[in-house]
Chains A and B, each alone.
Chain A
Amino acid sequence: MSEVEFLKVCNVCKSFGEGDSRQEVLRGMDFTVAKGEFCVLLGPSGSGKSTLLNIIGGIDSADDGYISIAGDKLRDMDEKTLTRYRRKHLGYVFQLYNLIPNLNVKENIEVGAYLSDKPLDIDELLNTLGLWEHRYKLPNQLSGGQQQRTSIGRAIVKNPDILLCDEPTGALDYNTSKEILKLIEDVNRKYGNTIIMVTHNNAISDMADHTIKLRDGKVRKNITNDNKISAVDLDW
């Protein structure tokens, strides 16, 4: 397996419902993502990007086709192996943070650290995330941006190979969104994680190494960005 094919999406199909209500969400997706790459899955609502992210994350399964990571096909893994795969290799960031309400910032990050044999240094990470001063606050005492930083911290503290981000800025304002994107960019640069981000914001593709444009469950464009810009320079 070449470095270019770290993540391979091969003819992935997925549909929901039965009979008349059957809806094909993914209609044979094919693309690859290289290790350490920042890849954006871009598309409008209903294009299948979140479903694809969930299949890559092993929390949903394809009806047809497969996804392989570092040569291992997810469809060959049983539930236990999939859990282990997520535990060792994946970090998740969601639009709505999903923090544990009665754990403080530091403890929420420890939730991720617990899963790793060699977690990143939490105090340093808190500094990286700009949360050092807020480390003892509960989620309901934080702004949306601070909550999302905490959720990113929880995802990357175990230093995952792949960081999956599902509309991480979907619930945030413009400035905070840019802060979060910058943070993700820094994480990608410093820790070398492969990042796959789902978004419907076209502008974000400018900071990605690689953009997959989706529509109606198919890859419409697979663009390699040779002139990517920093998140601070993004505008929309």
Chain B
Amino acid sequence: MATNIKKSEGTAYVPGAVSSKRKVGNPLRKRLFREMKKDWKKYFVLFLLMVFMIGLASGIDVGNDSMMAAIDESYEKYSIENGHFELHSKPTPELLKEIESEGITVYEQFYKDLSESRKAPIEKTEDDKDVTVRIFKIRTEVNRACLMKGAMPQKAGEIAIDKNHADANGIKVGDTLYIGEEAFTVSGLISSSDYTTLFRKNSDFMFNAIDFDIAVVTPEAWESLPSSIFYQYAFMYNEAPATDSEQKEKADALMEKLAVLSATGGFTDEKETAEELKNKIQSQDPETMQILSEKAGSINELTDFVPEYANQAIHFAPEDMGSDKAMMSVLAYVFIGVLAFIFAITTSNTITSESAVIGTLRATGYTRGEILRHYMLVPIIVTLLASAAGNAVGYTIFKDAAVSLYYNSYSLVTYETRWNMDAFLTTTILPMLLMMLINFIVIYRKLRLSPLRFLRKDLRSSKRKKAMRLPSWSFLKRFRLRILFDNMGGYLVLFVGIAFVMLMLAFSIGLPETLDHYKGQMDENLISNYQYVLKGYKDEEGNVIATSEESAEKYSVTSLETIGGAHKGEEISVYGYENQSQYIRIGEALSGNEVWISSPYQKKFMLKVGDTITLKEKYEDKSYDFVIRGIYDYDGALCVFLPQENFNKTFGLDADAFTGFLSNNAISDIDYENIYTVVTLEEVMSIATQLDHSMGGMMDMVAWVCLVMAILMMYLLTKIIIEKNSTSISMVKVLGYENKEINSLYILLTSLVVIVSAIATAALAILGLAGVFRLYMNSLNGWFDVYISPMGIAKMILILVVSYAIVAIFDMMRIKKIPLSEALKNVE
């Protein structure tokens, strides 16, 4: 026998020779690339899933922050107001002077609301719905517009409209629009700095870029537009408030003073003095009557006051973008957490299969830390690569997608992409830390065992010495149960992964269904097709305004706001209805302060019959108590209903006073100068229309993404489970089991787990969706319930089951490929 002491080429063998080379590098590192290459499919899928999620989070983060920076800069660039107010009629110069003495500079921004159509009036049919366009003269001092395309109007017959509205309706520069009955050419597309979100009124439930537009024309063209003027003024503080609380205090004080000033024609801005004046008027005090006659021309009414910080048209977009970013980050972390567990299970299985080697290494002197670091390197490398690739696609593809999503919903100014350190941290460092933490915990726990346990391949953490006793079921059932217990970790991660996909599916299927359901509900139980609000119930000559429209019925409406609680300041519409009303059908006779409330009001504020609610005037301290006697099934808004007679008594109005008409048909015999506004079905449903426009298309995409994610995730987890059981599978093959019998053990079990998980997590996902939706609704002025039909739930489960059916084909192929020798080579 030879000891095979050979000489290498040119190398003389010297017994006991010590290497002159420097210390050998850790050879275990050489395994990493081979390990990844060997299992490249698994790591590639994990890489892809991570790139997608990190890319999405990074894209939204970068797009969001770049856009936010542009919005922040727009305050100075376009001189965004500190607030605005609206008066019922044009103020006298004296009143304006008094108003400006309150420490503000005011800027006239009168507007007119008209109908906008792409068709000439003569071409229009009943199906063509008009949209409302709010037209300003070109504003040069405050709230200037950002020209996005084309040119600002230069002459009569030219108009620049909101870009978001134009995109939503397919209007381009050069198109003709009919404003009222007059034709205008679209000269340009703009983004108004004070209307980044197209809210018609600040109290609106939702903005509406489809049915509402902001436009500017030349001053001459504006003057000639045949419509009522809304006397709105933007204001800037002469001394800007330093803090948020100071800003609020200042705005509250200003609102009170403006209300008093306008009501007294500039006589006083003190509420107490105004009260004294009122008493003196009632007692016909001669001196007071003299003053009153002097100020009569200046008496006005503050109809709207919106400080900048409370202006939804300015703040909704950035706040919504902020919540998108937060939600995306949470989703990304949850998903990366799931992927980290998949990695950890993969590594844990590798450790199990390499336990003898690990035992040898530990026995030879490798520390636990060295082995821990070695097994953590693959997840770290894959996460690092995925973070780099994810950030690259985030800064390019996903950022553009996120920005176009925002441009699709909001009328935002131009932006420049900015390097974002936060995005880098949240999409690189945090996923890395999450991956490291989860893998560290799982691998460390696994490596805590002694070298001897590794050498003996005795890695069970359970101290149970005997196998768990199972019921006396059939052998195959018991076999499946053993497989289930043995792979509990993998199946638990599968459950969590399925829960994640189901939550996304609940959004993608539940949101469009909720919007459709809401639209259907509104169609069915809308109060009336038109709600006309008059400027006053008498015309200039003092005649009560009437109409010959047969479906018209008098009603009253006013706005109050809630006090205290989580939803302080939420606007509530208070309706007064006629006896035997055909539109508001409340059969019960109500007396005094008894009211019915709309169902969304009840749900949002969790009210019940018998409760007393207190609402206050928006611009005054006056408050009213109402006792709830019933819930009215009307989803349109948060409302209170009481008989017309009680309405007039409650608000101290004339007995014959009313606000306008409810009507199912358009009213054509009331002079437009007497009409303050008309609320149509489209406006009531604007939230559904807008949400559908903003997210409808995206939801289909989300459903497809869910399908792909579900397939990839289940592919990974079932691959891990089958690989872990490959020796057992091979062994039963050796024993003579056929592939279909093995499939009935492993595939059937996993199928059952998938189906049970899908059903269980569908319920959790719907609860999650309802929770998120409730949070979202709490942030809006209004309410409607999330709705998902049984068919929708079935669709969610079906998508998941179909995804697994695809994966099962791969699993069957994988089981088929496991060689008989696998069992033999692993047996000592």
- In Å, the complex CA distance between A126 and B4 comes to 10
Of the candidate stretches B5-13, B515-523, B735-743, B778-786, the one touching chain A is B5-13
Partner of A103, one of B15, B30, B367, B451: B30
A96 pairs with B364, CB closer than 8 A: no
Which stretch of A34-42, A104-112, A204-212 is in the interface? A104-112
Contact A98/B360 with A87-B366, A114-B25 known, Cβ cut-off 8 Å: yes
Which of A92, A100, A190, A192 touches B31 (beta carbons < 8 Å)?
A: A100
| Contact flags B2-28 to A (C-beta < 8 A → 1, else 0) | 111111100101111111110111111
Is B18 in contact with A127, judged by CB distance below 8 angstroms? no
| Cβ–Cβ < 8 Å partners of A101 in chain B | 354, 357
Instruction: Give which listed residue, B13, B14, B24, B452, contacts A60 with CB less than 8 A.
Output: B452
Q: A231 CA to B2 CA in the complex, in Å?
A: 11
Q: Bits for A113-153, please: 1 = Cβ < 8 Å to B, else 0.
A: 11111111111101111111000000000000000010000
Nearest neighbor of A104 in chain B, beta-carbon distance: B30
A213 within 8 A of B: no
Contact flags A174-215 to B (C-beta < 8 A → 1, else 0):
010011001100100011100000000000000000000000
Report Cα–Cα, A183/B367, bound state, in Å.
Answer: 28
In the complex, what residue of chain B is closest to A130 when comparing beta carbons?
B4
Cross-chain contact of B365 among A54, A83, A118, A127 (Cβ < 8 A): A83
Q: How far is the CB of A58 from chain B (nearest CB, A)?
A: 8
* Size bracket, chain B contacts: 35 or more
Beta-carbon contacts under 8 Å, A76-114 to B: 80, 83-88, 90-92, 94, 96, 98-103, 107-108, 110-114
Q: Which residues of A contact B361 (CB under 8 A)?
A: 111
A127, B13: Cβ atoms under 8 Å? yes
- CB-based contact A88/B365 at 8 Å: yes
Complex-state Cα separation, A154 to B364, whole angstroms? 9
Chain B residues numbered 25-71 whose CB sits less than 8 Å from any CB in chain A: 25-28, 30-31, 34-35, 38
The smallest beta-carbon distance between B228 and chain A, in angstroms, is 81
Q: From residue B28, how far is it (CB to closest CB) to chain A in Å?
A: 7
Q: CB-CB < 8 A to B16: which residues of A?
A: 120, 159, 190-192
Q: Does A217 contact B (CB under 8 A)?
A: no
Using known A-B contacts A115-B364, A130-B2, A154-B364, determine if residue A94 contacts B455 with beta carbons closer than 8 Å.
Answer: yes
A229 within 8 A of B: no
Q: B30 to A90, Cβ gap below 8 A?
A: no
Given the known inter-chain contacts A88-B365, A114-B26, A115-B366, please indicate yes or no for A183 contacting B3, CB distance below 8 A. yes
| Neighbour of A87 across the interface among B5, B31, B365, CB < 8 A | B365
Q: B4 and A84: CB pair below 8 A? A: no
The answer to whether B19 touches A113, judged by C-beta atoms less than 8 angstroms apart, is yes
CB distance from A48 to the nearest CB of B (A): 14
Complex partner residue of A112 from B31, B364, B828, CB under 8 angstroms: B364
Smallest CB separation, A186 vs chain B (Å): 5
Nearest-Cβ distance from residue A115 to partner chain B, whole angstroms: 5
Size bin of chain A's contact surface? 35 or more
Interchain Cβ contacts within 8 Å, total number:
154
* Cα-based distance from A149 to B38 in the complex (angstroms): 26
Complex Cα distance, B49 from A66, in Å, reads 54
**Beta-carbon contacts of A147-179 to B below 8 Å, as 1s and 0s?**
001000011001100000000000000010011
CA of A100 to CA of B34, assembled, Å: 12
Instruction: Identify A86's interface contact among B17, B21, B363, B368, CB under 8 A.
Output: B363
B759 to chain A, nearest CB (A): 41
Expressed in whole angstroms, the minimum distance between the Cβ of A112 and any Cβ of chain B is 6
Are A86 and B357 in contact, with the CB atoms below 8 A?
no
CA distance A174 to B733 in the complex (A): 33
Whole-angstrom distance between the alpha carbons of A102 and B38 in the complex? 9
Mask, B449-472, CB within 8 Å of A = 1, is: 011100100000000000000000
B774 within 8 A of A: no
Once A90-B364, A102-B38 are accepted as A-B contacts, the answer to whether A54 and B452 lie under 8 Å apart by CB is yes
Q: How far is the CB of A72 from chain B (nearest CB, A)?
A: 15
In the complex, what residues of B have CB within 8 A of residue A183's CB? 3-4
Report which of A108, A111, A130, A175 forms a contact with B6, defined as CB distance below 8 A. Answer: A130
A86 to B364, CA, bound (A): 6
Listed A/B pairs (29) with beta-carbon separation below 8 Å: A59-B450, A59-B451, A87-B367, A92-B360, A94-B356, A98-B359, A102-B34, A103-B34, A107-B30, A108-B27, A111-B361, A112-B364, A114-B24, A118-B19, A122-B24, A124-B8, A124-B11, A126-B8, A127-B5, A127-B11, A129-B4, A130-B2, A130-B4, A131-B4, A149-B4, A158-B365, A182-B1, A182-B3, A190-B15
9 pairs of A and B residues whose beta carbons are closest in the complex:
A130-B4, A87-B365, A110-B27, A98-B360, A86-B365, A190-B15, A59-B451, A113-B24, A121-B19
